[in-house]
Amino acid sequence: MISGGYAWLGTFTGIAVITVAALPLAALTVWALARRRIAGGTTTAWAWRRSLAEVGIVYGTVPWVCMTMLPGGQAGAVPGRVSLVPLRDLLMMSAGQIVGNLLVFAALGFLAPLRFAALASVPRILALAASCSVLVETAQYVLRLDRVSSVDDVLLNAAGAGLAALATRRWWRDTSVDHASAGAAV
């Protein structure tokens, strides 16, 4: 039986439970940030939108990244493996692996264009998600986590962020309008 902190931080189930348990804290953080911004002179709509996007990016991304960094059974004992041939690993992935890879940076893709006007384009979100994914895959390799660092993971992570960004595209224009009405307030 798994004991101690590893039971919570070292398993998919543990990370999922912690993520659900942290939802009230995330909501409280959104509320506190929005209240602080409103008190500082930011418009109510922009304060809430900005706070929700910032906390949502972190809350929706960190657990997935933590799951991708969980070590395999032979971590540290086997050398890192790399797969650089596109679509080779995709054919061997289960539906759960594909969906999981699509979700890793989906919150980033969904919310970043709403919060940061400079990221309000699908190519920029794809580039950001691919860059973040390359960092994760590199860390998996360097840390010898008994995982395959695969170009297909990078492609799926970026595709998930891009698809999520497309879901919010109609609200991107509002980012510049809301930001202009917020003035120089934080």
Percent residues over pLDDT 70 in the chain? 88
The predicted-structure confidence for 53-100, as pLDDT tens digits, reads as follows 999 999 999 999 999 999 988 888 888 899 999 999 999 999 999 999
For the chain, the first-to-last Cα distance in angstroms comes to: 48
3-state secondary structure of 121: coil
The predicted-structure confidence for 127-159, as pLDDT tens digits, reads as follows 999 999 999 999 999 999 999 999 999 999 999
3-state secondary structure of 51: helix
Give me the DSSP letters along 129-142: HHHHHHHHHHHHHH
Q: Comparing C-alpha atoms, which of 96, 152, 105, 146 is closest to residue 126?
A: 105
